[in-house]
């Protein structure tokens, strides 16, 4: 299962699926943002003022518990968008969303141009199918973290990021990864060492490189394939 081909100009896949005229109509309202790791795109409960369509950036949706511990519930990259609630009838959701991997994203203002959000356009059915794909992703990764050991989940996470990023490497600390996976930093160190010793990845001080993608896939659990094929079925 090869890494997905990047779109020309590293476009967002949802926007790229729009018919030309609809895309053109939206173009005037679009704004491009360079986003740095840690930038917060949405705080739980706060109204959203923009909808972000990542191009090379990758975002994380996380829940925060009362004791402060956090877990990632989903990854959003160029295959999707941040701001589904805007289409689902509210203007906020209960997760925090922030940038995980530096890159850029296209944004639209949150109360979208009427013609776009109403029926008849191509955007709405696209978003509906993306919603279902996201739902599957969240469910599958939830199940995954209950049933599969940390090194497999680690491999899965790296593959999913790799799919959403231009090259073969990106910046990432083990500390950060541990928060995404909901485990200790030390646990990530062990898992990553295994993958590194096997030659699947290489990393040094906050920077990681996917060296052998096929190997990494073999080290991951089935969940990577399940999620990916669901995305392909629904929005591929």
Contact criterion met (CB below 8 Å) for 53 and 10: no
Residues 6+ apart with CB under 8 A from 171: 37, 101, 102, 206, 207, 208
Please state whether beta strands 50-54 and 103-109 pair in parallel, antiparallel, or not at all (unpaired): antiparallel
The listed partner (DNA, a second copy, none) that binds 2, CB under 5 to 8 Å by sort, is none
- Tell me the CA distances in angstroms from 194 to 39, 93, 215, one per residue in order: 31, 37, 12
CB of 2 to DNA, least distance (A): 26
In angstroms, rounded to a whole number, what is the distance separating the alpha carbons of residues 195 and 158? 11
Q: Which residue has the tokens 């591929």?
A: 236
Q: According to the binding rule CB under 7 A, does residue 182 interact with DNA?
A: yes
The listed partner (DNA, a second copy, none) that binds 139, CB under 5 to 8 Å by sort, is a second copy
Query: Where on the chain is the footprint of a second copy (CB under 8 A)?
Result: 61, 63, 65-66, 69, 71, 73-74, 84-85, 87-90, 93-95, 118-119, 125, 128-129, 131-132, 134-136, 138-143, 145-147, 182, 222, 226, 230, 233-234
CB of 173 to DNA, least distance (A): 4
In angstroms, rounded to a whole number, what is the distance separating the alpha carbons of residues 210 and 224? 16
The listed partner (a second copy, DNA, none) that binds 118, CB under 5 to 8 Å by sort, is a second copy
Residues 6+ apart with CB under 8 A from 34: 102, 103, 104
Q: According to the binding rule CB under 7 A, does residue 193 interact with DNA?
A: yes
Of the residues 189, 212, 217, 235, which one makes contact with DNA according to CB under 7 A = 189
Residues 6+ apart with CB under 8 A from 178: 184, 185, 187, 188
CB of 176 to DNA, least distance (A): 8
- Kindly state the greatest CA–CA separation across the chain: 54
The listed partner (a second copy, DNA, none) that binds 41, CB under 5 to 8 Å by sort, is none
Of the residues 130, 203, 224, 231, which one makes contact with DNA according to CB under 7 A = 203
Nearer CB in complex with DNA: 94/190: 190
The listed partner (DNA, a second copy, none) that binds 141, CB under 5 to 8 Å by sort, is a second copy
In angstroms, rounded to a whole number, what is the distance separating the alpha carbons of residues 43 and 164? 23
Of the residues 143, 184, 199, 218, which one makes contact with DNA according to CB under 7 A = 184
- Count of residues that bind DNA according to CB under 7 A: 21
The CB-side HSE value for 151 (13 A sphere, CA atoms) comes to 15
Q: State the residues that interact with DNA by CB under 7 A.
A: 149-151, 173-175, 182-187, 189-190, 192-193, 196, 203-206
């Amino acid at each position: 299962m090869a890494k997905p081909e990047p779109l020309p100009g590293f476009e967002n896949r949802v926007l790229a699926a729009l018919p030309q005229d609809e895309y053109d109509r939206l173009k005037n309202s679009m704004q491009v943002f360079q986003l740095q790791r840690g930038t917060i795109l949405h705080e739980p409960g706060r109204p959203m003022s923009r909808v972000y369509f990542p191009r090379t950036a990758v975002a994380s949706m996380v829940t925060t518990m009362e004791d402060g511990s956090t877990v990632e519930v989903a990854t959003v990259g160029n295959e999707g968008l941040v701001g589904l609630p805007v289409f689902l009838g509210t203007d906020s959701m209960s997760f925090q969303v922030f940038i995980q991997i530096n890159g850029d994203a296209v944004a639209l203002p949150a109360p979208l141009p009427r013609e776009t959000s109403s029926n008849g356009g191509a955007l709405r059915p696209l978003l509906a199918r993306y919603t279902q794909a996201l739902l599957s992703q969240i469910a599958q990764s939830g199940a995954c973290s209950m049933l599969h050991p940390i090194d497999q989940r680690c491999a899965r996470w790296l593959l999913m990021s790799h799919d959403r990023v231009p090259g073969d490497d990106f910046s990432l600390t083990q500390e950060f990864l541990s928060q995404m996976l909901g485990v200790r930093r030390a646990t990530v160190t062990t898992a990553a060492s295994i993958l590194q010793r096997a030659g699947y990845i290489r990393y040094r001080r906050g920077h990681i490189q996917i060296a052998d993608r096929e190997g990494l896939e073999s080290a991951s659990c089935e969940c990577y394939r399940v999620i990916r094929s669901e995305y392909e079925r629904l929005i591929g």
